[in-house]
Amino acid sequence: MLAEAIQYAATRLVTPGEFRPFVRSSVSLWSRAGRCAKDWAPHEENCKAFIREAISGMKARRTVVVLGSGLLRDVPAEDLAKAFDTVVLVDLVHLASVRTWLKAKGFRNIRLISRDLSGFGDALAGKAAEPLGFLRQVPYLDLVVSANVLSQIGVGAKRRLERESDTRKDEILRTLIRAHLDGLAALPCRTALLTDTAYRVTDRSGNLLEDADLLCGVPAPEAKRAWTWPVAPYGELDRNCQAVHDVIAL
């Protein structure tokens, strides 16, 4: 609890005001990642390996943008910093511990940007959602990585819509998922998408207790790689159940 409190306070100080409401959830994710490090390790390595694979063979390595850089546990930051002239990490919150680690490593070509990647405000207002439109303004862009952020866009928007009792919930959720996928597809550079697509909660006997489509009804793109991720292993939610996510990479 003390470590979480320190992380929260330190992160809040360096986070722009509009994104401070998201600091607590980022710290909670950081705390869970620590507790579940052993169970999460294969997923994190699969993500890093896929990103390294995306880099291999690239001749132009000027700028790479990572969407949803988060804790950097699933992003090979050191490899990116060595391979590209400029690395841009984009997320709602960049934890103080992440900032400290980057500074300690002495990366001079890594930039941090706090940004809402969901397009939620425009979709709620009935406007065309184009959350990745800002990428058109990034000079010399050669690679964009969407790092396990797509499903979180849907999860976060669903919570906000349920609080507001908006009857357009399903429509808006699908709009946001499609906007991210379409935005990546429209880019003139190489892209790499990592996302969880569904989850299920089972007990120790294998009985299904709960499941959900994390892409909100939008068909998942054809994947190059696929694996499972025990987001909440036995003992995290309850000693008798676990939550496992399906992950794709393309």
Going along the chain from its start, the domains and CATH numbers come out as 39-249 (3.40.50)
What is the rounded CA–CA span in Å between residue 31 and residue 101? 16
Task: State both tokens at 87.
Answer: 């690395």
For residue 1, name the pLDDT band (cuts at 50, 70, 90). confident
For residue 77, give every residue at least 6 positions away whose Cβ sits within 8 Å of its Cβ, in sequence order, or none.
87, 89, 102, 105, 107, 110
Whole-number average pLDDT of the chain? 95
The pLDDT value recorded for residue 126 is: 86
- How big is the chain, counted in residues? 250
- Give 3-state DSSP helix, strand, coil % of the chain, rounded to 5: 45, 25, 30
Q: Average pLDDT of 160-186?
A: 90
Q: How far is CA 31 from CA 27, 159, 235, in A?
A: 6, 21, 14
Q: What's the DSSP call for residue 74?
A: S
Whether the model pTM is above 0.85:
yes
Q: How far is CA 111 from CA 66, 91, 159, in A?
A: 10, 11, 30
Which DSSP helix (H) or strand (E) runs through 232? strand 225-232
Q: How far is CA 245 from CA 43, 73, 202, in A?
A: 10, 17, 11
Which has more pLDDT, 107 or 165? 107
